[in-house]
Structure 1
Amino acid sequence: MKKMKLNSYLLLSATVLAAPSLAHAKTGDPVVVAEGITLDPIFDARLAYEHVDQPATSADSLTLRTRAGIELASDIGLSFLIESEATLGLVNDFNDTNIGNGIEPYSVVADPENIELNRIQLKFAKKDKGSLTVGRQRINIDDQRFVGSVGWRQNEQTFDAVSASVTALKPLTLEATYAISQRTIFGADAGTREAFDGDLIFLGAGVKAGPANLKGFAYLLDFDAGQPVSLSSSATYGARATATFPVAEGFSIDLAGSYAVQKDYKANPNNYSVDYIAGSVGTSFSGFGLTLGYESLGADGAGNSFQTPLATLHKFNGWADVFLNTPGAGLEDKYVSVSKKFKLLGGLAASAAYHDFRSDVGSVKYGTEFDAALNFNIDVISVGLKYANYNAKNLAVDTEKFWLRLGYSF
């Protein structure tokens, strides 16, 4: 099985590399195959090391992920894209979350070995008019707090869906998606967790008003019965606003705020209504950034709390990933982050953040976390270093994580 996976992995990774050379084109450049039609190769490789340190367990993982594919596009706006995804484990001292792999005593690193069809889609798009996409696709909505591709993990989350946007009604923008399957990060060997099926509807209507962007949204998640997420069906309705105010040359103030209410939906047997509140204020000056933020995922006191099962969760509530599922008493996250961009190594970016976590009900202290990251480029290779240190109190356990990632794409 291991040898078969390795051979399949190498075959998938090599397929797209041959396409440009056949046409004597520069690697990554679209190839003209007929008048008004181009063939664009897709290749993305990432070598990722992750270390996890917890009181009773630890983990070390080294994985190599590649995505390879092609996009055939015409000048009338019609395109067809197909892309494979393969993840190979090189150092496997970690729990990949799939039952039966024999390594459960280790801490979790959710990057299982995997070979799959990541995307296959047909798209029609017109500039300043809108777009329609049908098939297995990547979906990132706004800041990915409610729907995202989970790009941090090696195996990407995609959706079998029909999605559309209308931009011709300026300043109004309309978005709608109907998905029948959430293709998870857990991969082809995850059994019932490989994909969660149901009727998933994402709706949004936004308008630009001066320096502000205002948007209303609805996420209606009706998962099929009998799945691990069958009790997570929910209806979420809310609004989001962002704005940037220039103060002086090179100096601006950024504001963001969201409010939503989530209720039980369809077959969910629970009867609840909980709130979501988020707000942040940030400033930037000469490459420096400072942000103060607050986020509350509410609870009703009966064990029901605000959940976002389709989100890119690693982006929120600390990089140690302690709060991928909102605790039954809810979560309050007060945080401050700083960043700095340097004109070195292709644009070196450094950042750090501090979080204070408490419950929404009862204000129980959950702990604190310190995060830091450094990203830069060496020629065509992107380099990322990341660190997270969660100090537990009344929830979970102390967790320390470190990542080193090398990436290449065209």
Structure 2
Amino acid sequence: MKKIFFIAITLFAFSQAFSQELKMSAELKPRFEARHGFGTLASPEDDPALFVSQRTRLRFDFATEKYQFLVDVQNVGVWGDVSTLSKSDKNGTSFHQAWGMYHFSPKFAMKLGRQEISYDDQRILGAVDWAQQARSHDALLFKIKPGEKSQLDLGFALNANGETNFGEDYLVNQYKSLQYAWFHTNFSGNLGLSLLFLNNGMPYDKTENNNTKQKTTYSQTIGGRVTYKKDRLSLDGATYFQGGSTPNAAKDMTVDLSAYYLSANANFKLTDIFNLGAGFELLSGNDQDGDADKNNAFNPFYGTNHKFNGWMDYFYVGNHANNVGLFDVYVPFGVTKDKVGLKLIPHFFSANGTILKPGFEKADSYLGTEIDFQFSYKLVKDVMIIAGYSQMFATESMEIIKGGSKDEVNNWGWIMVTFKPTFFKKKFDEPKG
């Protein structure tokens, strides 16, 4: 806390002399959860998990005409994960974001440091704000405005364990290097188009002549997303293709990657209060009786995957990679009235690839149905209470790929309070003389 206080005093003093704007804000997000079948099916001997997690953030935004600077200090933990007499937190305090952006001109800027990278609906690149720790990248971005209605971002990341004199294996379970290009344009007030190219470099161990060395293999994600809005109707659709290669499970060789993704959504505001939608996602997968030397499973990589395919996180939230894929059909329904919000979303899940029973007989592709419900209420401007309940009605095929029991009551309930105060936001004149 002494470091946080020192940062605040330093930035405030600096702002008095040089800045044009300084903002200091915070976030507190405690969340109680009751889990029994969250992420995977429960077994008869499993008891429900009960806990309270909490995110605490303190954020400083500083801006002048030529550059911006942001520091986002974060602590994440679970109530009781250390003794009441402990001198320090289990996870300590970290920087969720710490970046600077310099504007060479109104149409060209450079942004570098630890930062959230989020685009479009966050399917491939997102901030994962639901997770208490969220996601941020150490990266360099070039931000270009080709026109008034267009934006081009070029991103680059190179990861290492630390400072070394010679090359060493990268031991963190994530990409070694990453490059991407994202372009967005609005053709009119109603129609928008985004295009993405992502080159993802993953480390793997290669053994040759009894000598093992780490190498990097690259996969490419290419695709785009279209949006359309008019009056009470909004439509969107996306398609992505993946190629290149990925490490196999043993990480001593690579396999060719050939995968695809399709989605389409329609939402209609029936009245000022009621909203109804329908949509689907199709992510290619591997057949359980298929060729092990090929990978046909689409990976959404660094997206906000909790937002998609049911809130119980059965798919693509640290799981389901290189599995049988997914076909998800959903019909969201929402109500918003003054300070109250309600959401109800049923999901109907099927596998895209072949599932085999223990006797190598093909199983039904239908995996189950999940019902998600959420209630929100804004207490005041900066304080909101949100609660939810979800239940999974699984099938035998879900048991095959997930384990556990479909006959157990697989559900999840939670309640969360968020505080997002802004302590001060003030503009200062540049000093004269």
Q: How big is the shift at 1:245?
A: 1.7
Q: Report matched runs for 1:137-148 at 5 Å.
A: 137-148=115-126
Structure 2 counterpart of 1:67: 57
Q: 1:316 to 1:299 in 2, by over 3 A?
A: same
1:120 Cα deviation after fit: 1.2
Structure with larger RCO (C-alpha < 8 A, sep 6+): 2
| Cα-Cα RMSD | 3.1
Instruction: Give the TM-score normalised by the residue count of structure 2.
Output: 0.74
Which residue number corresponds to residue 38 of structure 1? 21
**Any residues of structure 2 matched to 1:115-126 within 5 Å, and which?**
115-125=93-103
**Aligned partners of 1:156 and 1:266: how far apart in 2?**
25
Asked whether the 8 Å contact 2:371–2:390 carries over to 1, the reply is yes
Q: How does 1:280-359 map to 2 (within 5 A)?
A: 280-284=265-269, 285-301=271-287, 302=290, 304-324=296-316, 325-326=319-320, 328-343=323-338, 347-359=339-351
Matches within 5 A, 1:58-137: 58-74=48-64, 76-91=65-80, 113-125=91-103, 129-137=107-115
- Is the aligned partner of 1:207 residue 2:185? yes
User: Who is 2:352 aligned against?
Assistant: 360
Cα distance, 1:332–1:45 mapped onto 2, change above 3 Å = same
Change (3 A) 1:333 1:36: same
Show the 5 A alignment for 1:11-30.
Answer: none
Q: What code does the residue aligned with 2:415 have? A: L
Q: Which runs of 5+ in 1 are unaligned?
A: 1-9, 24-30, 94-111, 184-191, 247-251
Aligned residues of 2:219 and 2:257 also touching (Cα < 8 A): no
Shift of 1:38: 3.4
CA distance in 2, matches of 1:12, 1:48: 26
CA distance in 2, matches of 1:366, 1:13: 48
Give the Å deviation of 1:224: 2.7
DSSP 3-state at the match of 2:255: coil
Q: Give the superposition deviation at 1:129.
A: 2.9
Structure 1 partner of 2:234: 254
Aligned equivalent of 2:174:
196
CA–CA distance in structure 2, aligned partners of residues 388 and 16 of structure 1? 41
Kept after mapping to 2: 8 A contact 1:41/1:70: yes
CA distance in 2, matches of 1:193, 1:149: 23
Percent identity over the alignment is 20
Deviation at 1:41, TM superposition (A): 1.7
User: Does residue 279 of the first structure (1) align with residue 261 of the second (2)?
Assistant: no
Q: What do residues 109-155 of structure 1 show as CA deviations (whole Å, max 9, x unaligned)?
A: xxx84532211111135896354210001111111100111110111
Matches within 5 A, 1:148-159: 148-159=126-137
Give the stretch that moved more between structures: 355-364 or 296-305: 296-305
Cα gap change, 1:351/1:131 in structure 2, threshold over 3 Å: closer, same or farther? farther
Contact 2:120 2:194 survives alignment (8 Å): no
Aligned to 1:224: 203
Asked if structure 2 preserves the Cα contact closer than 8 Å seen for 1:12 and 1:84, the reply is no
Instruction: State the 1:375 CA deviation.
Output: 1.5
TM-superposed CA distance for 1:181, in Å, is 4.3
Q: 1:225 is paired with a residue of what secondary structure?
A: strand
Contact 2:203 2:217 in 1 (8 A): no
Q: Distance in 1 between matches of 2:19 and 2:6?
A: 24
User: Distance in 2 between the 1:194 and 1:63 partners?
Assistant: 24
Measured after TM superposition, the shift of residue 69 of structure 1 is 3.5
The CA distance in 2 between the partners of 1:305 and 1:92, in whole Å, is 37
